Structure 1
Amino acid sequence: MVGFQRRGLGTLRLLLSLLLLAYWETGSGQLHYSVPEEAKHGTFVGRIAQDLGLELTELVPRLFRVASKGRGDLLEVNLQNGILFVNGRIDREELCRRSAECSLHLEVIVDRPLQVFHVEVEVKDINDNPPVFSLKEQKLLIYESKQPESRFPLEGASDADIEENAVLAYRLSQNEYFSLESPTNSKQTKRLSLVLKKSLDREKIPEFNLLLTATDGGKPELTGTVQLFVQVLDVNDNDPEFDQLEYRVKLMENIPEETLVIKLNATDRDEGVNREVTYSLLSIKPNGRHLFTLDENNGEMRVNGSLDYEENKFYEIEVQATDKGTPPMAGHCTVWIEILDTNDNSPKIIVNSLSFSVPEDAQPSTVIALISVSDLDSGVNGQVTCSLTPATPFKLVSTFKNYYSLVLDSALDRETTSDYELVVTARDGGSPPLWATGACAPGKPVLVCSSAVGSLTYSQQRRQRVCSAVVPSNTDLMAFSPSLTPNLDREDERERQESGCNHLGQLKNSFNQAYFKD
């Protein structure tokens, strides 16, 4: 009975084996398992002996063995329990790279009778690879003239995993100038791009350091990052600017040529040739075009002529600074130059009426001559005072500013004194002061008076007489005689009366020679 049962069980096993063999032959002929990559050593894969219909006791006697195409050592069968387990590190990316399907193909062989079984073990992907950028830093050069909504392609990351583990999402560090446009099916965007949100200004922000992060779709998710360095390129969008819109300078008249007036400086916030500046004079008012020069490279303005306070007291100079950009841009400033007076003009004396003879019975306060003085300088340099020397019966009376009358101050006595030599000195208030000076008003000089201090010229016209002196003491000398007829109008009468003026006749020829020689 027992033997019959054993024979029955053997027959049943044989029948099952034949049925299973028939199944393998008529079906796919393969047994399928799956295992996650990076599974630890000893990880269970499948009950291969049982699934093949083999008794555990048959494995050794029938020489059960596993052969694989390639990496056979990654999987092994425990002959004691018939279990297929992980025997080595399985790296899906190493085995199959980015292929969507990745499997290990095994051949299971048994003898007595010889049978061959095909087993396929699918290696499942796990999220064991983070997104990777090819560069640690991506550099972008963007002109500041680029308009908002401009796009700049970026190099995205790659992920060695597949499917959801390799689906990447990007985000950009917070900033107000740039955003990201990621590839999506809805927008049909093919490339990852940086999008400009607002206008750039290199002079405000010349560069940006942004962080681009890529995140995969695995659980848990893995990330990779890259630095985005954006350099804003310059365009010529800034005018040169002077330190001030107006400069005010004071210069003394008669200063030497090449004297530095001012060093102008204009700066440009652009860079490169866009910030290189040259200087030029636009205008000099009034009529001072050649009185000043301006170095086009260093902005130094210098005197280029004779500055005369009496000719012009102020100059208005328009200066332009131009950069070398394309197209060039310019800035402007105004230089106001005030010319300061120096005491470079001597006083002048004009005798409007002159009597060479005064009756000895003339009353005090009788006006002998009307004298006016002038000085082209200003301020104290042009303030003129007159004095009369030596002490005589005459005096100077100020009638108005710079106007004097020579009047009789006391009685005359011809028998005591027949003539007087008077010296009128005009002195300005400069430091040092100047006295009257080798210049007569228009008219024919006809009379020369002299004294121990020098020579004097006298010019008489019907309505104006001018006296001036070139003497060491810078004085004007006038001679009066009480015996002469007043108000001489004719040259012949004046010459006949020369005997009443000390030293007059003897100097006439010498004066004429000197005058006409000039």
Structure 2
Amino acid sequence: MKYLFISQKRGTTLASRPGGQEVQRLLLSLLLLAAWEAARGQVRYSVAEEAKHGTFVGRIAQDLGLELTELVPRLFRVASKGHGDLLEVNLQNGILFVNSRIDREELCGRSAVCSIHLEVIVDKPLQVFHVEVEVRDINDHPPVFPTTQKNLFISESRAVDSHFSLEGASDSDTGENALLTYRLSPSEYFSLEVPTTDEQVTPLSLVLKKSLDREVASKLLLVLKATDRGKPELTGTIELCITVLDVNDNAPVFDKAVYRVKLPENARNGTLVIRLNASDLDEGSNSHILYSFAADVSPNIEASFRIGSASGEIKVSGKIDFEEAKLRKIQIEAVDKGNPPMFGHCTVLIEVLDVNDNAPELMVRSLSLPVREDAPQGTVIALITVSDRDSGANGQVTCFLTAHDPFKLVSTFKNYYSLVLENALDRESVSAYALVVTAQDGGSPSLSATASIFVEVADVNDNAPTFAQPEYTVFVKENNLPGCHVLTVSARDADAQENALVSYSLVERRVGERALSSYVSVHAESGKVYALQPLDHEELELLQFQVSARDAGFPPLVSNVTLQVFVLDENDNAPALLPPAGGVTGGAVSELVSRSVGTGHVVAKVRAVDADSGYNAWLSYELQPVAGGGRSPFLVGLYTGEVSTTRALDEADAPRQRLLVLVKDHGEPPLVATATVLLSLVESGQALKTSLRASAGIAGPEAALVNVNVYLIIAICAVSSLLVLTLLLYTALRCSAPPTEGACGPGKPTLACSSAVGSWSYSQQRRQRVCSGEGPPKTDLMAFSPSVPPGSDSVNNGDQEEICGNVSKVVV
């Protein structure tokens, strides 16, 4: 980046000076250029090599638009690939300074441009800036000759203007600091010819300007001085010891002074590079030529090439790597066998051609893992750097992501990429991603490299617990033991760790006058529901409530499920006798019977009820046999409780008859009550007076008792017939449908919500409503579904749970 410094005197404006408007426009252009460069995310500085520790480089925080107060909280850091800690940033003032010695020649060699690339990384949010620091060369290396002394053997017969090649000096600096000028110490015989091009393909040489005379001067000592153009100037010298030889006065001469050859890198050993040819005008042994590398050839050349001393063929003998050196310069000597020998020189320039032999390199850094599943789109996951040592198309690298959904690669700067989130994540669907980043160069055939990135998705509490069933129905026998296990509810949370830890609790409500928690409880961890006290079917037929499942996430999520607990009846209530028609308590029925009544005349009626339901409330009446074995003239209706005559009464019958009627229910085991019927046999006149008294309203309560049991039996038969007809019709419809699970297929029976197995029964009117506390009370006539065959499965996937007395079945 160039900087423009403008000074002005006090009271003088730029516009008032000559050319002030042009300067203003130039300054504005530079400011716009600087703003554009900053917008591109790149800042450039320059610093001289060998600068002292602490040397100011630039206000990097200010130039990148960062506040000094946010450098430490945002983890401001500087990374430099392969350059260690040459540069450092003061986090207090945001200044980039020199931290350690910078040697440009060690850093970049002879490269014309040398710069240090810095990556500035800050977090929260993650940002990457690229900074280029140019290292300026200083003249810190003097010219150096290969040796301090060089011996030259020159025949006295050499013609004037003969050239003698010299190895020039080298300077490790660059630019003006590496441009050398040569000076030769004053001599009447020799002058110096310096190359006029930067390539110096024409070697530095001594020129003979006056014929030599060994008898006058057999040895000459010259000093060659090389001076660079740096400030201050640095110099190097070499002593030239010239021995004047006699006789063999023709040196070998090559066809060309410079040979140019192209050679692909990685050429196999033995590959012919070039065949050199030199000629000597002499005859005999003075014309026999031997080829060799110059004495000052570098060890790398000797390790990579060999030359046939007789043939002049240069062949590959080692590794040729374009990335190490793009141009190989070899000095060749041709010496004859004369005495003294004469030398010829040429230069072979080998241009190494690049071959795509280096695969791209991938580096993944700044991984931000794991990634929350609620991370927004555009979140940066990782920074990826790619590089290729090849050049041209072989070094052009493209980077892409395989199996990338829901991620993508975004190119940030040259060969720098960011792995960002493109679509929303769902840990419950995919908990981790194995990503493969591939870098491929543009060579033919192309080479590629891959890097694997394992991205784990962190859980967020976004799933409420889900119960295994939408609703639970269970049947429990009454009079259960306190604390018995009713059923187990189960809820699963799709989240992980604490977000998936589920606890259970009751949704508290009132059941009549009491709290729900006085009836049942649920274990917070296992979900087991317990009955805290014995349940009474006569008091509570259905207990309906909700259980809540809550996870341990923050904030917690809750789900509820409804439970229906049907209390099944047991035969725990014996038949209860109703008061006799006369309102007399004590359970005895007293009647006056006329001796003139005929067979089948109803003389009394026993009334009884049972607080149970179903078969447990279905009553039957039996007449206890008469003591002494005699046949009683009376009998009792099996289901009506009506006492009637079996024959006409006569004088032989005792005037007072005492009958014991056993009232028995159909429970298991059956419960029994005993009713006493006292009959007084009177003449027809007395019976008529009693009848008149009854018709006058004396026996009003008894007149209200109609033959209820007769109507009850008729109603049972009618409803049973209707039920059978409905079942037959339903079975016919299911059989006509496609064969699925049902009545005609191998389906699973569904348990209906009934109180017990049985038929129609006469039962006591209920005083307690169902657990919801709403709706009319239960009527006297109740219907019950038929029993389920033993071994049948419930609809809960054949999973029947026997709870509280091994009679409860869970039904959904």
> Shorter chain as normaliser: what TM range?
0.5 to 0.7
Q: 1:75 to 1:434 in 2, by over 3 A?
A: same
1:30 aligns with 2:255: no
Distance in 2 between the 1:83 and 1:361 partners? 158
Say whether 1:383 aligns with 2:618.
yes
Q: 1:424 aligns with which of 661, 666, 681?
A: 661
Instruction: Show the 5 A alignment for 1:341-360.
Output: 341-354=569-582
Gaps of 5+ in 1: 1-9, 97-101, 437-474, 489-518
Q: Which residue of 1 aligns with 2:523?
A: 295
Root-mean-square deviation (Å): 4.6
Contact 1:155 1:192 in 2 (8 A): yes
Which shifted more, 375-384 or 424-433?
424-433
Q: In the alignment, what sits opposite 1:231?
A: 456
Q: Aligned partners of 1:351 and 1:173: how far apart in 2?
A: 92
The alignment status of 1:476 with 2:675, answered yes or no, reads: yes
Q: Does 1:89 align with 2:319?
A: yes
Secondary structure of the 1:269 match is coil
Aligned to 2:475: 250
Q: Is the 8 A contact 1:253 1:342 kept in 2?
A: yes
Residues 273-422 of structure 1 mapped to structure 2, 5 A cutoff: 273-283=498-508, 286-287=511-512, 288-354=516-582, 364=597, 371-389=606-624, 390=626, 396=636, 404=642, 417-422=654-659
In 1: Cα distance, 2:291 partner to 2:315 partner: 20
In structure 2, give the amino acid aligned to 1:253.
Answer: E
d(CA) in 1 for partners of 2:665, 2:419: 81
Quick check: 1:368–1:405 contact (8 Å CA) kept in 2? yes
Partner of 1:465: none
Relative distance call for 1:375 and 1:285 in structure 2 (3 A) is: farther
Partners of 2:292 and 2:669 in 1: CA distance: 135
Unpaired segments of 5 or more residues in structure 2?
Answer: 1-156, 167-190, 202-257, 336-340, 694-812
Whole-Å separation in 2 of the counterparts to 1:117 and 1:65? 10
Give the counterpart of 1:219 among 444, 447, 471: 444
Structure-2 separation of matches of 1:339 and 1:278: 27
3-state secondary structure, aligned to 1:68: coil
Equivalent residues of 1:281, 1:320 under 8 A apart: yes
- SS at the partner of 1:274? helix
TM-score (norm 2): 0.44
Q: Is it true that 1:265 corresponds to 2:490 in the alignment?
A: yes
Q: Residues 427 and 27 from structure 1, CA distance in 2 versus in 1: closer, same or farther, beyond 3 angstroms?
A: closer
Q: 1:54 to 1:216 in 2, by over 3 A?
A: farther
Question: Quick check: 2:378–2:422 contact (8 Å CA) kept in 1?
Answer: yes
What is the CA distance between 1:177 and its match in structure 2? Answer: 2.9
TM-score normalised per structure 1: 0.66
In 2, Cα distance between equivalents of 1:272 and 1:478:
76
Q: CA deviation at 1:270?
A: 2.1
Corresponding residue pairs, total: 423
Deviation at 1:369, TM superposition (A): 5.8
Give 1:30's aligned amino acid: Q
**Which structure ranks higher in relative contact order (CA pairs < 8 Å, sequence separation ≥ 6)?**
1
| Residue identity matched to 1:212 | V
Amino acid at match of 1:346: A
In 1, the alpha carbon distance for the partners of 2:387 and 2:411 equals 14
Deviation of 1:230 after TM superposition, in Å, equals 3.2
**Cα offsets for 1:261-319 (capped at 9, x unmatched):** 22222222222222222222225774543222222211222222111111122221312
Residues 379 and 28 (structure 1), Cα distance of their counterparts in 2 relative to 1, 3 Å cut:
closer
Amino acid at match of 1:379: G
Paired residue for 1:491? none
Alpha-carbon separation, structure 2, partners of 1:416 and 1:220: 129
Secondary structure at the aligned position of 1:352 is classed as coil
Give how far 1:180 is off. 2.6
Corresponding position of 1:502: none
1:367–1:408 contact (8 Å) kept in structure 2: no
CA distance in 1, matches of 2:559, 2:288: 98
Distance 1:285 1:62 in 2: 115
Change over 3 Å in CA distance of 1:119–1:430 after alignment to 2: same
Compared with structure 1, are the counterparts of its residues 29 and 393 closer, same or farther at alpha carbon in structure 2 (3 Å cutoff)?
Answer: closer
Q: In the superposition, relative to structure 1, how do residues 333 and 360 fare at CA in structure 2: closer, same or farther (>3 Å)? A: closer
2:640 and 2:361 mapped to 1: Cα distance? 98
